[in-house]
Amino acid sequence: MSPSPEPVFPEYESDTSQTSKLIRKFKETPFVPVGMAGFVAVVGYGLYRLKHRGDMKMSLHLIHMRVAAQGFVVGAITCGVLYSMFRDFVVKPKE
């Protein structure tokens, strides 16, 4: 008498690809992928500008790029929280 092979956490054992997970996350919280994309864009721009930074010190350039990337991510998180609060408290019909 073996127990039935029921998954302990069925929502974690579904056959979903990384793309479908990203699309689902984008629908649930649209500012998370925006923050990720902004971070990648700032890092890419920083790497591009690294070659053409002129006489700026390397450490100063890296600090500026780190602050810009962190600022973009924090801004995206803040916008996401504000969007979530707006959706939950303003748009949501009163029960």
Report yes or no on 80 lying in a domain: yes
Length of the chain: 95
Contact 35, 77 (CB under 8 A): yes
Domain containing 33 equals 13-91
13 CB-near residues (< 8 Å, 6+ apart) = 7
**Structure pTM?**
0.61
Q: Tens digits of per-residue pLDDT, 58-80?
A: 889 889 888 988 888 888 889 88
Q: Tens digits of per-residue pLDDT, 1-40?
A: 556 666 565 555 565 788 887 788 777 777 777 888 888 8
Report yes or no on 4 lying in a domain: no
Report yes or no on 44 lying in a domain: yes
Report yes or no on 5 lying in a domain: no
Report yes or no on 3 lying in a domain: no
Report yes or no on 42 lying in a domain: yes
| DSSP string computed for the chain | -PPP---SSTTTSS---HHHHHHHHHHH-THHHHHHHHHHHHHHHHHHHHHT-TT--HHHHHHHHHHHHHHHHHHHHHHHHHHHHHIIIIISPP-
Report yes or no on 8 lying in a domain: no
